[in-house]
């Protein structure tokens, strides 16, 4: 998507926000700031402009100012009135900071001091200005030429209000004076949006949360590039604008990620293709559970599920993952996501699994349960991303089950060493590890129930096809969780091969996220 629009760039350090223009292309998000540039005439610097104003009997200097040293901001031109003195020069702009008045430096002057100087400077006032690119938002500088507004100049002046210098000013000379006008060969200036910096979107990530907290920013987000460049915090005037920009930026990042996947897959064998990858936020478990979410990059590739701290950009990076798990032995679970602003939907896709309850409740969460009862808990920024992860885990797992065909685990029962096989075509088989004699075999459809002690032992309940009686088989595994996840993966893949519509109908995330 390509898109342009106005936003506020918020500086957390100075607690200051100012207007910027965003320009989104397929590969880059560019931040533009407004500045005054010299477009014709001699090569004058637009940074400092010295302008002589002739005060008019009606209209005065034709401008209003805001700001002052008492609020640690410069005095800024906040209004320029059409066809009056300041407007006629063609050299003054809303957002210009006043540097000098008749040769007197006012960079550190109070609002009242500057108002006094301008009102009592006589019929001709020479001011030096510099355009303030990062004007604080509380000065409420408009983006275009404003119309007349009520005059706040009566009484004490305030930096938070306009002090109008567009009425009859204090002047010793009451005779009409000629209006200010541009002098021949004077340079011509214009206010323009200029590119300040750009953030490449390939492998970039988006964050809506305040750093170091679980607090989500209101109508704001940040885009961080792979090389560390950040847009800063982009604030929007409405929730709709924020949502539109978030979706547009995320869509372009996703498209570029897809391109990177296609490039990576050209170097991989058909059985080792990347199915999906992208940024998530992970909640630390165990001893670090008090810490906030950390940024992680996940990938589903071939037979494995990868967890990275930074994205893999070369073939060597794939062996440097923080964690690598076999896809057949992990279990994906959707947790929570928004239906409306104040309503949670609890999506328990798999029964009997522990739910998570954190202080910083985030929407669009999922967990990936791995061997030995361990798990990873993740959050993504958009509901559509959650739906894509759910579908991608399903697809990658089913592909791996079909590629693998079967998985065999060592187990024991009553002192005997046995082998337990889960086979996509045959179902469940148990045989003696030494003699290889088959002890029993059941189809997937014969499994009617199971129970386990949460540690090493599991009881599998099968229905005998001939007698219709239930037979219980009890086994003990070193990593029971991995075996149970494998059984789940094979059964789900078997159901999907027979009835794909049923699997899709179970996706609560996809069902609600796209409509939301």
Domain segments of the chain: what residues?
1-37+190-238, 44-137, 239-400+504-512, 404-498
Range 44-137 has CATH code 3.40.50.300: no
Which of the 8 DSSP states describes residue 103?
Answer: T
Question: What are the CA-CA distances from residue 3 to residues 28, 384, 432 (Å)?
Answer: 11, 20, 65
What is the reported pLDDT for 269? 92
Tokens of 422: 């889960």
Q: Could you give the angle at which helices 239-266 and 383-404 cross, rounded to 10 degrees?
A: 20
pLDDT in tens, the chain (516 residues): 799 999 999 877 667 788 899 999 999 999 999 888 888 766 556 678 899 999 888 888 999 998 888 888 889 998 899 989 999 988 899 889 999 999 999 999 999 999 999 988 888 999 999 988 877 766 655 443 333 333 333 334 445 566 666 554 444 443 344 444 445 566 788 888 999 999 999 999 999 988 777 788 889 999 999 998 999 999 999 999 999 999 999 999 999 999 999 999 998 899 999 999 999 999 887 655 556 789 999 999 999 999 999 999 888 999 999 999 999 999 999 886 544 333 333 333 333 333 444 444 678 889 999 999 899 999 999 988 999 999 999 999 999 999 999 999 999 988 899 999 999 999 999 999 999 999 999 999 999 999 999 899 999 999 999 999 999 999 999 999 999 999 999 999 999 888 877 666 666 555 544 444
The backbone region for 425, taken as left when phi is positive above 0, alpha when psi lies in -120 to 50, beta otherwise, is alpha
Beta carbons within 8 Å of 114's beta carbon, 6+ residues apart? 65, 68, 75, 98, 101, 106
What is the reported pLDDT for 358? 40
What is the reported pLDDT for 181? 45
Which of the 8 DSSP states describes residue 223?
Answer: E
How many C-beta atoms surround the C-beta of residue 382 within 10 A?
A: 21
Mapping DSSP to helix (H, G, I), strand (E, B) and coil, where does residue 265 land? helix
* pLDDT tens digits along 273-316: 999 999 999 988 765 555 678 999 999 999 999 999 999 988 89
CB 207 within 8 A of CB 221: yes
CATH class (in words) of the domain with range 404-498: mainly beta
Beta carbons within 8 Å of 46's beta carbon, 6+ residues apart? 35, 36, 37, 38, 131, 189
For residues 494 and 425, what is the distance between their CA atoms, to the nearest angstrom?
Answer: 9
Per CATH, which fold does 1-37+190-238 belong to?
PH-domain like (2.30.29)
Nearest Cα to 73, choosing from 118, 128, 137? 137
For residues 444 and 465, what is the distance between their CA atoms, to the nearest angstrom?
Answer: 12
Residue-wise DSSP of 286-331: GGGTTS--EEEEEEEETTEEEEESS---SGGGGGG-SEEEEGGG-E
Q: Could you give the angle at which helices 480-498 and 383-404 cross, rounded to 10 degrees?
A: 90
What is the reported pLDDT for 95? 87
For residues 505 and 60, what is the distance between their CA atoms, to the nearest angstrom?
Answer: 72
What is the reported pLDDT for 147? 32
What is the reported pLDDT for 122? 86
What is the reported pLDDT for 210? 84
What is the reported pLDDT for 156? 40
Beta carbons within 8 Å of 256's beta carbon, 6+ residues apart? 26, 27, 201, 202, 203
Question: What are the CA-CA distances from residue 199 to residues 23, 228, 254, 284 (Å)?
Answer: 11, 9, 15, 29
For residues 309 and 435, what is the distance between their CA atoms, to the nearest angstrom?
Answer: 46
Which residues are paired to 450 by β-bridges?
A: 460
What is the reported pLDDT for 172? 43
**CA end-to-end span of the chain:** 20
CATH class (in words) of the domain with range 239-400+504-512: mainly beta
Tokens of 209: 């949360």
239-400+504-512 and 404-498 have identical folds: yes
For residues 85 and 70, what is the distance between their CA atoms, to the nearest angstrom?
Answer: 28
């Amino acid at each position: 998507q390509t898109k342009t629009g106005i936003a506020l760039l918020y500086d957390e350090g100075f607690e200051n926000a100012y207007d910027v223009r965003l320009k989104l292309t397929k590969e880059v998000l560019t931040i533009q700031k407004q500045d005054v540039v010299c477009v014709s005439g001699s090569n004058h610097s637009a940074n400092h402009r010295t302008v002589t104003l002739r005060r008019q009997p009606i209209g005065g200097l034709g401008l209003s100012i805001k700001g002052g040293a008492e609020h640690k901001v410069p005095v800024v031109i906040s209004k320029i009135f059409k066809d009056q003195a300041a407007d006629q020069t063609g050299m003054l702009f809303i957002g210009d900071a006043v540097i000098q008045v008749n040769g007197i430096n006012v960079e550190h002057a109070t609002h009242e001091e500057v108002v006094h100087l301008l009102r009592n400077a006589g019929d001709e006032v020479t001011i030096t200005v510099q355009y303030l690119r990062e004007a604080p938002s509380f000065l409420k500088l408009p983006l275009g030429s404003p119309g007349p507004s009520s005059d706040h100049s009566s009484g004490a002046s305030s930096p938070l209000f306009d002090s109008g210098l567009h009425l009859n000013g204090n002047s010793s000379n009451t005779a009409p004076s000629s209006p200010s006008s541009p002098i021949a060969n004077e340079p011509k200036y214009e206010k323009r949006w200029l590119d300040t910096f750009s953030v490449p979107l390939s492998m970039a990530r988006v964050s809506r949360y305040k750093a170091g907290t679980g607090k989500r920013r209101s109508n704001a987000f940040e885009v961080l590039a792979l090389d560390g460049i950040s847009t800063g915090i982009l604030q929007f005037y409405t929730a709709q604008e924020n949502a539109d920009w978030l979706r547009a930026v995320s869509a372009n990042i996703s498209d570029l990620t897809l391109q990177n996947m296609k490039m990576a897959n050209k170097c991989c064998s058909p059985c080792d293709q990347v199915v999906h990858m992208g940024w998530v936020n992970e909640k630390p478990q165990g001893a670090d559970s008090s810490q906030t979410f950390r940024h992680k990059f996940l990938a589903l590739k071939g037979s494995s599920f990868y967890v990275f701290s930074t994205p893999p950009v070369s073939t060597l990076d794939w062996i440097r993952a923080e964690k690598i798990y076999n896809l057949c032995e992990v279990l994906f679970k959707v947790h929570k996501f928004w239906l409306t602003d104040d309503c949670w939907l609890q999506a328990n896709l798999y029964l009997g699994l522990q739910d998570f309850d954190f202080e910083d409740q985030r929407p669009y969460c999922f967990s990936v349960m791995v061997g030995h009862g361990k798990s990873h808990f993740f959050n993504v920024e958009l509901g559509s991303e959650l739906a894509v992860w759910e579908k991608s885990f399903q697809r990658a797992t089913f592909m791996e089950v079909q590629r693998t065909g079967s998985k065999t685990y060592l187990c024991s029962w009553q002192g005997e060493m046995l082998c337990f096989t889960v086979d996509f075509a045959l179902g469940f088989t148990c045989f003696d590890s030494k003699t290889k004699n088959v002890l029993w075999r059941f189809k997937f459809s014969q499994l009617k129930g199971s129970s386990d002690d949460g540690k090493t032992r599991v009881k599998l309940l099968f229905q005998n096809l001939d007698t219709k009686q239930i037979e219980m088989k009890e086994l003990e595994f070193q990593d029971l969780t991995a075996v149970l996840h494998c059984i789940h993966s094979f059964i789900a893949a078997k159901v999907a091969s027979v009835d794909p519509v049923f699997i899709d109908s179970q996706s609560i995330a996809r069902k609600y996220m796209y409509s939301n």
